[in-house]
Amino acid sequence: MAEYKHVTVPKEGERIQIDADNKIQVPDHPILPFIEGDGTGPDIWKASRHVFDEAVKKVYGGKKKIAWMEIYAGEKSLGVYGKDQWLPDETLQAIKEFKVAIKGPLTTPVGGGIRSINVALRQELDLYACVRPVRWFQGVPAPVKEPQKLDVTIFRENTEDVYSGIEFDANTQDAKDLIALIKQKLPKKTLREDSAIGVKPVSAFGSKRLVARAIRYAIEKNLPAVTLVHKGNIMKFTEGGFQRWGYEVAKAEFGDKVITEAEVWEKHNGKRPAGKVMIQDRIADAMFQQLLLRPDEYSVLATLNLNGDYLSDACAAQVGGLGLAPGANIGDKAAVFEATHGTAPKYAGLDKINPGSVILSGVMMFQHLGWDEAADRIIAALSKTISKGTVTYDLARQMEGAREVKCSEFAKYIAEAV
């Protein structure tokens, strides 16, 4: 066990373990680290924790219980650890040791040497899969006519692409040197001398493990298809590589459990054989149109970092926004579940903001732990509460006849309905 200076480890809890096959082993009283978050984070976390604890208590009758352990990142971390300590080593160590954590929204610091705390968490802990399920809840206002048709889970590669890319500012010597090298190697390539230059890494290793996780998810959940989303028609070696490597790992690792879309049409007249997951691919821009016009034809999307960022928010908008959009960052040795929205500092401390994103991220966390009964009960309770029109301001202002309640009150009603 690591030594901690500012983290208090609960005495009554036990550690989650990851075995040699990367399978999670969860005790009945797991220690789970949490980060409150910045801005509205404390309000949201307090409300969400109430829902989690009540669900576990009611579902398991005391046989299971969470031992919560606070760790620090973002603005609160500065007060605990000092200047520029946006993501202290103790926080990373705690997540590594205790395996599963949950967090509220965090400020992206100006200065401090971190481009984004969320990106740093993903890269430092090798949380290579950003998993975001998107679905509609009855009664939530949405901009499309049939929001119920969209029910997808997006697997976004977390560690490569432009988010871990290298950039050189325009007119710097580094940029000029790289432009000169490119012109030397590719004399027919036209590059303006005053260009900024970016390098976008995409590897076979990173692409294959992300796609493999998406396919395993589809098999476990008995979902019909995994769609590889890419821009390989233009970026043939990075985005195109992702597509090619995705098909390769599907065939090599999953064998007769999967079938390609081409094979479905060539051998089965367009009808997917029962029990097989169909592997297909779509160009990224076309995928946005497909999700608007034919959303019910898609169930699991696997894509690179930037495409996944765009698609996650666009899908969330179709079903009412980020207020009810959960997220998880999962690797082989650790997982961090998180709110997908920002900190909304103007609402901090007002007990006003919608806690739905963190609550549903907790649902994902329970599913990850194998506590599906608690997860199912929270989803049902949340759905019931929203359908009655008892909602926070962001939903109430768009729902006819709704009753606006505080963040804490919304959580109380969900907990009562569990």
Do residue 306 and residue 349 come from a single domain?
no
Domain assignment present for residue 137? The answer is no
Distance CA 332, CA 250 (A): 19
Domain assignment present for residue 135? The answer is no
Q: Report in angstroms the alpha-carbon separations of 162 from 83, 157, 158, 200.
A: 28, 11, 10, 5
Do residue 283 and residue 236 come from a single domain?
yes
Two tokens at 289?
A: 């149109």
Out of 285, 313, 332, 376, the active site residue is: 285
Q: How many domains does the chain have?
A: 3
Contact 341, 105 (CB under 8 A): yes
Domain assignment present for residue 86? The answer is yes
Q: What is the pLDDT of residues 310-357, one digit of tens each?
A: 999 999 999 988 888 899 999 999 999 999 888 999 999 999 999 999
Given 254, 285, 318, which residue is the final one in a domain?
318
Domain assignment present for residue 335? The answer is yes
Do residue 23 and residue 157 come from a single domain?
no
Do residue 286 and residue 334 come from a single domain?
no
pLDDT class for 214, splitting at 50, 70, 90? Answer: very high
Do residue 39 and residue 118 come from a single domain?
yes
* Residue 380: CATH number of its domain: 3.40.718.10
Out of 103, 231, 276, 412, the active site residue is: 231
Out of 38, 161, 281, 309, the active site residue is: 309
Do residue 147 and residue 289 come from a single domain?
yes
The answer to whether 285 is a known catalytic residue is yes
Q: What is the pLDDT of residues 75-119, one digit of tens each?
A: 999 999 999 899 999 999 999 999 999 999 998 776 555 668 888
Do residue 278 and residue 243 come from a single domain?
yes
Domain assignment present for residue 393? The answer is yes
Question: Which residues constitute the domain of residue 174?
Answer: 166-199
> Averaged over 154-165, what is the pLDDT?
91
The answer to whether 231 is a known catalytic residue is yes
- What is the model's pLDDT at position 114? 65
Distance CA 173, CA 288 (A): 39
Do residue 62 and residue 77 come from a single domain?
yes
Do residue 245 and residue 331 come from a single domain?
no
Q: If we measure between CA atoms, which residue out of 321, 311, 326, 404 comes closest to residue 363?
A: 326
Q: What is the pLDDT of residues 295-306, one digit of tens each?
A: 999 999 999 999
| Mean residue pLDDT across the chain | 95
Do residue 242 and residue 311 come from a single domain?
yes
Domain assignment present for residue 220? The answer is yes
Do residue 355 and residue 244 come from a single domain?
no
